[in-house]
Structures are given as structure tokens and as C-alpha cells.
Amino acid sequence: MGTKLKDGQTLLFIGDSITDCGRMGGDGPLGHGYVRLFSEMLTACEPEKDIRIINKGISGDRVTGLEDRWNNDVLRLKPDWLSIKIGINDLHSAIGNDPYGVDPETYRNSYSAILARTHEALPSCQILLIDPFYLALPETKDAQEKRVLKELPEYLQIVEQMSKRYQTRHIPLHQLFQRQLDYRPPSHFCPEPVHPNQSGHMVIATAVYEALER
């Protein structure tokens, strides 16, 4: 079927370490994760399209960080398509001792602000929101994992609400990974609950491709 991307368009990915994946080092400019895998998938499946792909992920970032750098890293580049994946660092900061922790209300407000700014500055930009995820089973005995799994649904609900409010595409990635865990252990996709291996990144890249087909 192919994606809705058109020849000559620009697709920009922004987020935290899961998007970054070394894109400012030896694996630049796309990193070694799902952004690169998506780019290779696009080339293999739609060789007739020349799509400019930009990775603006920064390891450790939160939605408040995105808000601070939104003009430089998104708006001035005027992408035709924009993919945003942010949230797990926000959650971790909120349940830790971080004085600048991003609680759900701050997450909601900052997320809404960057989407509103995008709609105003780039009204024709197509947007994809990707849920944060956490690869741990509900029956885990680890106290930290239990805490994250308990708090995560509120952040996921906010992303879903933002997608409906701003009429974006949406990938319920945590839910997608939980379906995968019906068949394989978390270690198949992640050495720990946050940073995927290549199998995990392939799940994300495939979900992105499928989301852009719709």
C-alpha cells in the first residue's frame, strides 16, 4: 500500500534517547534505532520516493525540554510530517526526587503547548504521536517497575487526549508491546524496561510505517 509520504517531503522525528540512539555520534545522523530502521524500510518499500528524514532526539529529554527547543529543532525546519515520542523520562522524574519533575499536569500542559504552536506555525504539518512504553510484566516483583506501571496509564491517557484534540495519528506503543509480551519475555525486546534492542526498535519502526499508511 505504501505510506502517505510524498516525494520530496520532510519527516522529522523528535524525542528522548529511544529516538536519539547515538544520532550525534558515530551512528549519525539518524542513530541506530527505529528512525534508521524506518528509513531503511521506506527505501526498501518505496524506492521511488526521496524523503528527507531528520532525527532530533536527545537522550534524557522530557516534554519540557522539547518545549524549550521547539522553535530551533522543529518549527524552523518546517517538516511536512512530524513524529513525537516523549514521556518515560517525564514519569521517572515525577516519581523520583527531581525538583523539576514532570508530573501529569505539567506533561499535559507542555505537550498541548508544542502541538498548538505547531498547528499555528505549520498548519499543514501531519503529526504522529507515539506513546511512551515500559517493558515489564504486570506481575513483576520489582518495586520500581510496579510503581512505573501504576503511574504510566495517566501519561498514556494524556497522549491519547492530545491526539484526539489536535487530530493526529497515534501509536499506542505500550499496548502494542504488551501484546508482544503475551508471546515473548521483555528481555526479547529490551535488556531493561526502557531502552529497546534491535528487535524492540523493529517493533517501533514497523508501527510507524503502518501508522503512516493510514
Cα–Cα distance measured from residue 67 to residue 42, given in angstroms and rounded to the nearest whole number: 29
What is the structure's pLDDT at 97? 84
What is the structure's pLDDT at 122? 98
Tell me the H-state helices in the chain: 17-20, 34-45, 63-73, 88-95, 104-121, 143-166, 173-180, 198-211
Q: How confident is the model at residue 214 (pLDDT cuts 50, 70, 90)?
A: confident
> pLDDT by residue (tens digit) across 129-183?
999 999 999 889 999 999 999 999 999 999 999 999 999 999 999 999 999 999 9
Beta bridge partners of 82: 12, 127
| Whole-number Cα distances in Å, 32 to 38, 65, 80 | 11, 22, 23
> pLDDT by residue (tens digit) across 103-127?
999 999 999 999 999 999 999 999 9
| pTM of the entire predicted model | 0.97
Beta bridge partners of 83: 13, 128
Give the DSSP H or E segment for 207.
helix 198-211
Residue 1 has pLDDT above 80, yes or no: no
User: How many of the other CB atoms lie within 10 Å of CB of 208?
Assistant: 26
User: How many of the other CB atoms lie within 10 Å of CB of 10?
Assistant: 16
> pLDDT by residue (tens digit) across 45-100?
999 999 999 999 999 999 999 999 999 999 999 999 999 999 999 999 999 989 99
Cα–Cα distance measured from residue 63 to residue 110, given in angstroms and rounded to the nearest whole number: 6
Give the DSSP H or E segment for 149.
helix 143-166
User: What's the average model confidence in pLDDT over 24-52?
Assistant: 97
Domains and CATH numbers, the chain: 10-211 (3.40.50.1110)
